[in-house]
C-alpha cells in the first residue's frame, strides 16, 4: 500500500511536469506556425536534432546485501532453546555462536552412524583383502565339521527307522536289575566288613588311652604324681597318638569302601533306568515327530555344509563384482548418513555466517522451538542496497548496469549514486499489479546513519540517445497499431496534412526519437480537437492513468 501511494504521487508530479513543459513549448516556439479555430488547435513544428535522456522514478526500501533470517532448520523434533547469547543491535563476527539447543541426541545419532560406517568399511575391506592361510584352514575345518554333523544326523535317523530287538532290550533290563541287586548287597557288606570292626576296636582303644592320659595329667597338675606315673604319662601320650593315626587310616579306608559301593549302586540304578527307557520306547515305537526332527536336523546340517563349501569357494575366487559394488554402495550410504548426522549436530548451534549486526530476535532461552521457528535476523549494515519496486509495465525498460540517482525521505536534499545490479525474472502480485523487486547499489552514503527498511526514491536512467531526430511526443499518432505523424501538404499548402508512418526510439515523454520516416529539416503538424485542446496531453504515450501511467508517459520505450 505504501509503495502504491508513492507511485501515485510520483505519477501526479510527472504529469504536472510534462504539462508545464508542453505549455512552455507552445508559448516559446518562435518558428512554429499556429492556427486556432472553433474546431480545435493546429501547430506546425520543426523536427529537431539533439540528445535525449529517459528515466523512470521508482520507490523502494533500503536493504542489506547480506541479510539472513536464522532458525534451527534441521531440528528433528520440538526442542528447548538452550541459549541465546545476542540481542537486537549486537555486532557479531563470522563464526560466533549466537544460539544453541541440546546436542545430546544428535551426538548419539552421529556416534551410531559412525559405528555403522566403520562396520561397512570393514566388510568392504575384508572382501577386498586376499584370504590368509589361517582363513583357508578355518574354512576347511568348518567344512569337515559340517560333514561330520551330516553323518551324525543321518546315523540318528537310521537308528530311528530301524526295528528294535525287544528280547535283547528285555534281557538288558533284567541284567541291569541283577547288577543293581548285587551292588546293593556289596554296599551292605561294606558297612559290616572287618574294616568296620577294626574301626570300632580302634575307637575304643583311643577312648581308653584318652581317659588314662587325662587322669595322669590331672595328677601331674596337682603335684600328686610319682616318678613312675610321670613316665607313664609320656608313654600313654605316645600310645594315644599311634592309636589315633591307625584309627584315621582305618576310617579313610572304610569311607573309600563305602563311597565305591555307593557309586556302584548309583551306576547300576542309572543303567537300569536307561534299559527300562529303551524298552519303553521300543515298545511304543518311533513317533512321526521324532522322525521329522531327525530329518530336519539332516537338512540343517546339509545347509550348513553348503554354506561352508560356498565360503571356501569365495575364499578361492574372491568376491564378485556385484558383491563388491553392493558393499561399496553400503559404505557410500553410511558415509552420507554420517555427513547428515554431522550436519544435524552442527545445526544445534546457530553460527554467524558473516560479520554483521543482529536486527531482531524472535525467541528467548527456554522457549520450545521447532525447525520452522524464527530465532533471529542478522544483516551486514556496511554493505547496503536499495530494493526498488518496478511494475510490469516498465520492468522491460530496466537493465542491469543502468545508472540511478537515489534520495531518502529521511535525508532530504542529498542525492547518491547507484546502478541496477540485476533484473528479476519473476515478480509478485501486489494489489492486482505484478511488481518486480530490483536491487540497486548505493554509493557515497557510508557516513549516513541509514537503517534497513528506510524509504528510498530512485531515478533509473533507462536510455540515452545522442544527436538524434526529435519530435514532440504529442505529434505522434497511433492508428491501427502503426505510429505516424502529420506533415504539411507541400502539393496543396491549404489542403489537409499528410500522414507519414514513422518508427520511434527513445522517449522522455516530452520528446520522442524518430529512427525512420523523417529527415532533418522536416516539419510535423500537431492537430488537436477542441476537447484535446482543453486537455492537450491527455493521450500522451497511450494515456495517463495513475502511477503506472505516469511512468509510461515519461519513458516511452524502444
pLDDT, tens only, 195-224:
666 778 888 888 988 898 898 888 888 888
Same domain, 483 and 403: yes
**Are 43 and 180 in the same domain?**
no
Residue 129 included in any domain: no
For residue 309, being part of any structural domain is answered with: no
Lowest mean pLDDT among 32-36, 94-98, 153-157, 173-177: 32-36
Is position 275 within any domain? yes
Q: What is the pLDDT of residue 544?
A: 29
Domain end (from 377, 397, 416):
377
DSSP assignment string, 263-299:
HHHHHHHHHHHHHHHHHHHHHH---HHHHHHHHHHHH
Residue 64 pLDDT: 93
Q: Are residues 240 and 270 in the same domain?
A: yes
224 and 361 in a common domain: no
| Residue 547 and residue 419 share a domain | yes
Is 270 in the same domain as 392? no
- The answer on 171 and 197 residing in a single domain is yes
Name the residue among 20, 16, 11 with its Cα closest to residue 59.
Answer: 11
Q: At residue 388, what are phi and psi to the nearest 5 degrees?
A: -95, 145
Name residues whose C-beta falls within 8 Å of residue 260's C-beta, 6 or more positions apart in sequence.
190
Condensed to tens digits (0 to 9), the pLDDT of residues 525-535 reads: 998 765 555 55
Residues 358 and 453 in one domain: no
Regarding whether 432 and 362 lie in a shared domain, the answer is no
Taking residue 44's Cβ as centre, other Cβ atoms within 10 Å add up to 20
End residue of a domain, out of 284, 303, 325: 284
CATH number of the domain encompassing residue 393: 2.40.30.170
Q: Are residues 532 and 394 in the same domain?
A: yes
Work out how many domains the chain is built from and give that number.
3
In a domain, 221, yes or no: yes
Residue 61 belongs to a domain? yes
DSSP bridge pairs for 91:
357
In a domain, 311, yes or no: no
User: Do 370 and 419 share a domain, yes or no?
Assistant: no
CATH of residue 81's domain is 2.40.50.100
- 208 and 252 assigned to the same domain: yes
pLDDT at 495 (0 to 100): 75
Q: Is residue 261 part of a domain?
A: yes
Range of 429's domain? 2-65+383-555
**Percent of the chain scoring above 90 in pLDDT:** 49
User: Comparing 28-32, 116-120, 167-171, 512-516, which segment has the lowest mean pLDDT?
Assistant: 28-32
CA distance 86 to 69: 14
- Cα–Cα distance measured from residue 35 to residue 44, given in angstroms and rounded to the nearest whole number: 9
Last residue of a domain, one of 284, 300, 321: 284
Amino acid at each position: 500500500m505504501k509503495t502504491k501511494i508513492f507511485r501515485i504521487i510520483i505519477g501526479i508530479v510527472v504529469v504536472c511536469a510534462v504539462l508545464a513543459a508542453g505549455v512552455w513549448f507552445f508559448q516559446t516556439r518562435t518558428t512554429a506556425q499556429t492556427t486556432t479555430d472553433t474546431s480545435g488547435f493546429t501547430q506546425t513544428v520543426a523536427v529537431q536534432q539533439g540528445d535525449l535522456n529517459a528515466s523512470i522514478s521508482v520507490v523502494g526500501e533500503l536493504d542489506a546485501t547480506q541479510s539472513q533470517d536464522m532458525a534451527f532448520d534441521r531440528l528433528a523434533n520440538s526442542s528447548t532453546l538452550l541459549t541465546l547469547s545476542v540481542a537486537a543491535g549486537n555486532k557479531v563476527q563470522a563464526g560466533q555462536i549466537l544460539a544453541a539447543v541440546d546436542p545430546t541426541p544428535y551426538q548419539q545419532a552421529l556416534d551410531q552412524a559412525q559405528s555403522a560406517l566403520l562396520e561397512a568399511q570393514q566388510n568392504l575391506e575384508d572382501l577386498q583383502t586376499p584370504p590368509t592361510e589361517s582363513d583357508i584352514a578355518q574354512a576347511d575345518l568348518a567344512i569337515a565339521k559340517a560333514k561330520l554333523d551330516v553323518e551324525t544326523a543321518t546315523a540318528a535317523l537310521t537308528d530311528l527307522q530301524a526295528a528294535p530287538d525287544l528280547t535283547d532290550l528285555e534281557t538288558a533290563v533284567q541284567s541291569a536289575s541283577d547288577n543293581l541287586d548285587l551292588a546293593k548287597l556289596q554296599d551292605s557288606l561294606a558297612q559290616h566288613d572287618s574294616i568296620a570292626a577294626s574301626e570300632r576296636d580302634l575307637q575304643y582303644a583311643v577312648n581308653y588311652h584318652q581317659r588314662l592320659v587325662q587322669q595322669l595329667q590331672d595328677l601331674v597338675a596337682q603335684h600328686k604324681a610319682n616318678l613312675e606315673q610321670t613316665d607313664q604319662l609320656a608313654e600313654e601320650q605316645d600310645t594315644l597318638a599311634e592309636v589315633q593315626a591307625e584309627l584315621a587310616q582305618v576310617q579313610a579306608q572304610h569311607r573309600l569302601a563305602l563311597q565305591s559301593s555307593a557309586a556302584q549302586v548309583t551306576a547300576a540304578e542309572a543303567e537300569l533306568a536307561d534299559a527300562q527307557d529303551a524298552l519303553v520306547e521300543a515298545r511304543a515305537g518311533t513317533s512321526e515327530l521324532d522322525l521329522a526332527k531327525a530329518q530336519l536336523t539332516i537338512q540343517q546340517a546339509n545347509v550348513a555344509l553348503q554354506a561352508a563349501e560356498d565360503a571356501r569357494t569365495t575364499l578361492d575366487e574372491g568376491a564378485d563384482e556385484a558383491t563388491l559394488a553392493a558393499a561399496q554402495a553400503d559404505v557410500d550410504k553410511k558415509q552420507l548418513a554420517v555427513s547428515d548426522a554431522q550436519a544435524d549436530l552442527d545445526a544445534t548451534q546457530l553460527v554467524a555466517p558473516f560479520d554483521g549486526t543482529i536486527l531482531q530476535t524472535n525467541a528467548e532461552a527456554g522457549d520450545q522451538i521447532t525447525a520452522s521457528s524464527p530465532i533471529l535476523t542478522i544483516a551486514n549494515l556496511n554493505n547496503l542496497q536499495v530494493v526498488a519496486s518496478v511494475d510490469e509495465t516498465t520492468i522491460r525498460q530496466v537493465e542491469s548496469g543502468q545508472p540511478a540517482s537515489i534520495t531518502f525521505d529521511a535525508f532530504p536534499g542529498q542525492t547518491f549514486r547507484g546502478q541496477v545490479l540485476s533484473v528479476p525474472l519473476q515478480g509478485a502480485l501486489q494489489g492486482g499489479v505484478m511488481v518486480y523487486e530490483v536491487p540497486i547499489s548505493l554509493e557515497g552514503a557510508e557516513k549516513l546513519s541509514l537503517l534497513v527498511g528506510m524509504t528510498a526514491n530512485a531515478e533509473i536512467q533507462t536510455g540515452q540517445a545522442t544527436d538524434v531526430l526529435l519530435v514532440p511526443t504529442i505529434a505522434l499518432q497511433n492508428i491501427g497499431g502503426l505510429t505516424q505523424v502529420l506533415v504539411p501538404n507541400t502539393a496543396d499548402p491549404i489542403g489537409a496534412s499528410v500522414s507519414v508512418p514513422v518508427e520511434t526510439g527513445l522517449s522522455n515523454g516530452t520528446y520522442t526519437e524518430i529512427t525512420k520516416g523523417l529527415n532533418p529539416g522536416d516539419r510535423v503538424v500537431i492537430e488537436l480537437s477542441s476537447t484535446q485542446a482543453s486537455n492537450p496531453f491527455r493521450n500522451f504515450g497511450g494515456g495517463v492513468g495513475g502511477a503506472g501511467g505516469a511512468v509510461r508517459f515519461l519513458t516511452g520505450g524502444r
